[in-house]
């Protein structure tokens, strides 16, 4: 018999698992707290539940908390972890400490099939989707689990290509019976799969970031194949018109590449498509690998973009690069 993984179950599923044996929702809550808040990997170590429940649970389930295979530490103290599923799919996770803000960048797939030209993960290829439990495990199984304050779905894979598992993982992360991290501290990134984005906006309260690359469709098609099926202008219009609750953020991630998308022409395009919206722009440095002939825009150019966007009434910031020396920065995750 294949045993259930407790990590990845929601409150109702946890309750259903033990109800037939006469146990209650209160017992299920104790189990959930042990898995998600205390990272207890051995069912026999779960406190305050009857011994008989521990025995019966051990016969039908495992904790689902699987430790990383290896780790690598950056000069800036970021840590990249390598995980492997029971079926052999490998993926990477990054822990990013920054004063009182400690972020985990999780993967949603092993590899990715979106084929974006500026992303090293795309060259790794697609190996498969991760389950909700495998996504959440990237948070609870690392040594820094009790310090985590923010979650970003910006690791390997396209979240909207694995939507149901991502939505379930978000529920577990934000629920009181789960990790109890505020939805305002959880951000999911996408290159633009419109049906998935629509569902995500309607079914989740977490933040959304759209990876833009270029405000011009014909340019974007050359680097982001999803543009051919889901034009970014339509996605941005949907984001503009979606009723956003207080403190929920919708934003664009704009990776700046020297002479490719950092010209005045691109700046004007950005200002044009965002005019009159509350969508924020996060400017990111480009991280080339050794095969790439392109380079990141200069700090001065990035500051120029930021200043001009803000003057135009568009909220903008420059995201600091972290973990580049260990290939843990945005766009560099790929099993080596």
For 217-231, write each residue's pLDDT tens digit. 999 999 999 999 999
Largest distance between two CA atoms of the chain: 69
> In the structure encoding, which two tokens stand for residue 43, read together?
């069912």
Q: What pLDDT score was predicted for residue 27? A: 96
The number of helices, as runs of H, and strands, as runs of E, in the chain is 11, 14
102 — pLDDT class (breaks 50, 70, 90): very high
How much is the average pLDDT of 206-211? 97
- Say how many Å lie between the first and final Cα of the chain, rounded: 35
92 is a catalytic site residue: yes
Q: Could you tell me the domains of the chain?
A: 4-62 (1.10.150.530), 70-326 (3.20.20.70)
How much is the average pLDDT of 184-209? 97
Chain center to CA of 49 = 33
| Statement: residue 267 has pLDDT above 70 | yes
| Statement: residue 274 has pLDDT above 80 | yes
Least confident of 157-166, 185-194, 284-293: 284-293
Of these residues, 92, 134, 158, 227, which one is catalytic?
92
Least confident of 32-36, 123-127, 131-135, 263-267: 123-127
Q: What pLDDT score was predicted for residue 328? A: 61
How much is the average pLDDT of 3-22? 95
Q: Is the pTM of this model over 0.85?
A: yes
Neighbours of 245 (CB within 10 A): 8
For 294-322, write each residue's pLDDT tens digit. 889 999 999 999 999 999 999 999 998 88
Give residues with Cβ within 8 angstroms of 92, minimum separation 6: 80, 81, 82, 83, 107, 155, 156, 328, 333, 334, 335
Q: Sign of the CA dihedral 73, 78, 84, 90? A: negative
Give residues with Cβ within 8 angstroms of 19, minimum separation 6: none
Question: How high is the mean pLDDT of the chain?
Answer: 93
Q: What pLDDT score was predicted for residue 325? A: 76
Q: What pLDDT score was predicted for residue 324? A: 73
105 is a catalytic site residue: no
118 — pLDDT class (breaks 50, 70, 90): confident
């Amino acid at each position: 018999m294949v045993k259930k993984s407790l990590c990845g179950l929601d409150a109702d599923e946890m309750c259903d698992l033990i109800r037939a044996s006469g146990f209650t929702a209160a017992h299920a809550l104790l189990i959930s707290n042990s898995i998600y808040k205390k990272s207890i990997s051995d069912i026999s170590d779960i406190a305050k539940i009857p011994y008989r429940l521990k025995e019966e649970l051990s016969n039908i389930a495992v904790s689902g908390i699987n430790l990383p295979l290896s780790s690598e530490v950056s000069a800036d103290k970021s840590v990249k972890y390598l995980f492997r599923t029971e079926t052999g799919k490998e993926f990477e996770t990054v822990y990013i400490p920054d004063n009182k803000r400690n972020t985990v960048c999780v993967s949603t797939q092993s590899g990715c099939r979106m084929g974006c030209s500026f992303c090293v993960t795309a060259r790794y290829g697609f190996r498969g989707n991760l389950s909700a439990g495998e996504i959440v495990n990237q948070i609870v199984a690392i040594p820094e689990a009790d310090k985590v304050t923010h979650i970003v779905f910006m690791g390997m894979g396209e979240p909207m290509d694995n939507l149901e598992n991502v939505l379930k993982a978000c529920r577990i992360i934000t629920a009181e019976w789960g990790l109890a991290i505020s939805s305002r501290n959880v951000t999911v990134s996408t290159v633009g799969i419109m049906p998935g984005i629509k569902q995500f906006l309607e079914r989740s309260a977490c933040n959304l970031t759209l990876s833009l690359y270029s405000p011009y469709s014909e340019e974007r098609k050359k680097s982001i194949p999803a543009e051919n099926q889901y034009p970014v202008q339509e996605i941005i219009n949907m984001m503009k018109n979606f009723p956003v609750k207080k403190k929920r953020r919708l934003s664009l991630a704009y990776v700046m590449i020297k002479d490719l998308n950092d010209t005045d022409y691109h700046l004007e395009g950005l200002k044009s498509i965002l005019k009159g919206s509350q969508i924020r722009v996060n400017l990111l440095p480009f991280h080339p690998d050794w095969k790439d002939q392109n380079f990141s825009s200069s700090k001065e150019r990035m500051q120029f973009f930021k200043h001009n966007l803000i003057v135009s009434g568009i909220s903008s910031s420059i995201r600091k690069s972290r973990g580049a020396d260990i290939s843990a920065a945005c766009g560099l995750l790929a099993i080596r």
